[in-house]
Amino acid sequence: MNEDKELKKFAKSLGISYLPDGHFKQALVHRSYLNEHADFPIGHNERLEFLGDAVLELVVTEYLFESFDNPEGELTNYRAALVNGQNLAKVARTLEVEPQLYLSKGEAQDTSEKSRNYILANSMEAIIGSLYLDFGWEESKNFIHHHIISTLPDILEKKLYIDPKSRFQEESQSRMSTTPSYKVLEESGPDHKKTFRVGAFLGKELVAEGLGTSKQEGQVEAAQNALEAKGW
């Protein structure tokens, strides 16, 4: 009963209603939790995430189509910036979703930002999926507008719809007349599961580093970290 009261309170903080027999609780259950609690009465949130992803994309697409007269390519970039994992994880942190998640002890103790962002972003999609099933299109749409589409002004102002490598190059060239370069600083792990530590350089200056499971992914993270390091 106390658990139900807590979930109802959390749902209210998100601006949504809570159905005791609905799907909201399931939206917060990570697969790992069930490995340690085989008798848990409900399933994990991955199917809800699958549904919520589609609802989110359609709501955002409809909004952008109705609000902007930009070319398709620009709208695609705006949409990608709104629905990507980094933005969804940021929203989830603002909404304090993480303390409400059902995670295994191992997942709960994992301090890797990349891993946590992935879980938080998926939980946001699952929450949207649960809203759609329990209350329908309008409730889902209101939630997405209030919490996710509301981040668009910041995305446009900071040009977050441009990928980090392009933004870092654009800023470096305009501010310093310099084109960034990237170098693999370290490779680790077995061939099938390598991790690349990549440095972003301006001339000989190592501005920031990034990690990725591919050189490209490492470069993107290094560029993002370089933008933050430079305050750009």
Q: What is the pLDDT of residues 192-230, one digit of tens each?
A: 888 999 999 999 999 999 998 899 999 999 999 999 999
More confident: 167 or 198? 198
Q: DSSP assignment of 102-132, as one string?
A: B--HHHHH---HHHHHHHHHHHHHHHHHHHH
Q: What's the topology of domain 2-157?
A: Ribonuclease iii, N-terminal Endonuclease Domain; Chain A (1.10.1520)
The catalytic site residues sit at 53, 125
Phi-psi region of 22 (alpha: psi -120 to 50; beta: other; left: phi over 0): beta
- Where in the chain are the domains? 2-157, 164-230
Predicted pLDDT of residue 141: 98
CA 108 to chain centre: 18
Cβ distance 222 to 200 under 8 Å?
A: yes
Bind-site residues for Mg(2+): 49, 122, 125
Bind-site residues: 49, 122, 125
Q: What is the pLDDT of residues 182-192, one digit of tens each?
A: 999 999 988 88
Cβ distance 111 to 96 under 8 Å?
A: no
Pick the CATH number of 164-230 from 3.30.160.20, 1.10.10.10, 3.40.190.10, 3.40.50.2000: 3.30.160.20
Q: For the chain, what is the mean pLDDT? A: 93
List the structure tokens of 43: 């399933």
Q: What is the pLDDT of residues 62-83, one digit of tens each?
A: 999 999 999 999 999 999 999 9
In the predicted model, is pLDDT for residue 1 greater than 60?
A: no
